[in-house]
Structure 1
Amino acid sequence: MENFLTAGNHLASLNDESKIYSATGAGRIPWVSVQDIANVGFHALTSPQPLNTDLLILGPKLLTYDDLAEIFRSILNRKITYQELDEAGLAALHRRFGVPEEYARVLAGMDTAIKNGSEDRINEVVRRVTGREPRRFADFVEANKEGWSLSLHQP
């Protein structure tokens, strides 16, 4: 989730163009918050009983980029659109935002994998390990909506 606040490409495209770019198509992602990752890690490291298992930390709901655009639109009260790109177009966009070429290709390739279902999964790890519900994407956007102010990047 936090990539939308810290990654230059997501932050700039949201603030400067009111767009989200991806090559995931209708692929779904279980967006997870770094808070949930940290909470699971804390519990795993401080538990009196070792968990003795790998922990795949996933968010609570599968969302497409169209879903994300709608969440941003409803919370920020402005039109946010999802712009579908192909893998090469997304790699070029990443490079435009300063991502090194090889890493830009890797990131774009990950989107193609998502488009083909690689992230279409959820689980109960956050709830099972921490006893708390994982953070919803809408709650993340609501808590950080000032970070996507159009005025932040306009002269």
Structure 2
Amino acid sequence: MDPSFWTMDRLTTAGLTEVMPTNETTTNNRAPGRTLVLGGTGKTGSRVLRRLRELELPARAGSRSGEPRFDWADQTTWEPVLRGVTSAYLAYSPDAGFPGAADTIRSFAKLAAESGVERLVLLSGRGEAGARRSEQAVRDSGTEWTVVRSSFFAQNFSEDFLVDGVRTGVVAFAAADVGEPFIDVEDIAEVATAALTETGHAGQVYEVTGPRLLTFPDAVAEIGEACGRTIDYLALTPREFEIGMVEQGLPADFSAQLTSLFQDILDGPNASLADGVQRALGREPRDFADYARDTAATGVWNRGT
């Protein structure tokens, strides 16, 4: 899943608006056409851009702060970012399962195909009916396509709306006491990069999860262990969570939509493992404990950060 809290352009990627190769590197004998990365300053997009840079493949970040500028809500910004592009990574904001997302993605995918884009890779959400419609929109585009269908991001605890709770010692969230296979966004980015640059991924739906199920209290406890201190989990009702978002200044309709999405995906239907990382990359996904240990070492969870 990819709700807006973890797809918003909250990370900066200075110098990554346009990445050009230093040589004519190819991957699996595929010519290095330019790749557009939408959501290029977000959690997955910034990491996809980094990998493309490491492969010395030309890439363009699509974001509201990019040049040329890109905005899902402003179709006049679409054509400029598609010029010279042969493949594109689509991370829709606020979420591929939100109302209207499928129609917008369908329009963009159609324009991309008309502009000469040959391959689209969509970041989708696990267990979201609306996201399935967005997936179909990409399938209908006439390009090669790959879907990366994601579970809940581990990095939501360190790079987004749960980080302050970890720092203060109380993580408050509306999630039932069921298992969630938290996925490391590094794995998502590696799967997406493979789909963008290698052969053999066209027509695939990679449902990506971590290697085990944890409840939210379990995950918070593992973060506390990695930090060397006690961090509590406070279970909120969906209504309490929604009211809290509004009190923090988020629009009421957005807060209601996001709360509804969380209710759908965090109440049991995703309490199972999938093999998308294994199929795409030929290895096991990264474990949550490894994420917690490495992230704690950065100091991002220190009190007063």
Tell me which residue corresponds to 1:6.
Answer: 159
Contact 1:28 1:114 in 2 (8 A): no
The structure, 1 or 2, with the larger RCO (C-alpha pairs under 8 Å, 6+ apart) is: 1
Aligned length: 150
Listed as ranges, the gaps of 5+ residues in structure 2 are: 1-153
What are the superposed Cα offsets for residues 14-34 of structure 1, whole Å, 9 maximum, x if unpaired?
212x11122212122111111
Which structure: greater strand fraction?
Answer: 2
| Matched residue SS, 1:82 | strand
> 1:84 aligned to 215, 224, 235, which one?
235
Task: Name 1:122's counterpart in structure 2.
Answer: 273
Q: What is the CA-CA distance between 1:51 and the residue it aligns to?
A: 4.0
Whether the aligned pair in 2 keeps the contact of 1:22 and 1:111 (CA below 8 Å) is no
Q: CA deviation at 1:99?
A: 3.3
Question: Identity percentage over the alignment?
Answer: 25
Code of the aligned partner of 1:76: C
Asked if 1:151 is matched to 2:304, the reply is yes
Larger-gyration structure (1/2): 2
Distance 1:96 1:74 in 2: 31
Partner letter of residue 277 of structure 2? V
Aligned pairs for 1:1-155 (under 5 A) are 1-7=154-160, 9-16=161-168, 18-145=169-296, 146-152=299-305
Aligned mates of 2:301, 2:243 — CA distance in 1:
23
In the TM superposition, what is the alpha-carbon distance from 1:115 to its structure 2 partner?
Answer: 4.5
Partner SS state of residue 233, structure 2: strand
Which stretch shifts more, 99-108 or 31-40? 99-108
Structure 1, 94-103 or 34-43: larger mean CA deviation: 94-103
| Residues 206 and 275 in structure 2, CA contact (< 8 A), matched pair in contact too | no
Higher alpha-carbon deviation: 78-87 or 115-124: 115-124
3-state SS of paired residue (1:135): coil
CA distance in 2, matches of 1:60, 1:80: 23
In the alignment, is the contact (CA less than 8 A) between 1:27 and 1:114 conserved in 2?
Answer: no
Decide whether the 8 Å contact of 1:29 with 1:114 is kept in 2: no
Write 1 or 2 for the structure with the bigger share of helix: 1
Distance 1:97 1:133 in 2: 38
For 1:116 and 1:78, how far apart are their aligned partners in 2? 28
Contiguous gaps of at least 5 residues in structure 1: none
Q: Per-residue deviation at 1:90?
A: 0.9
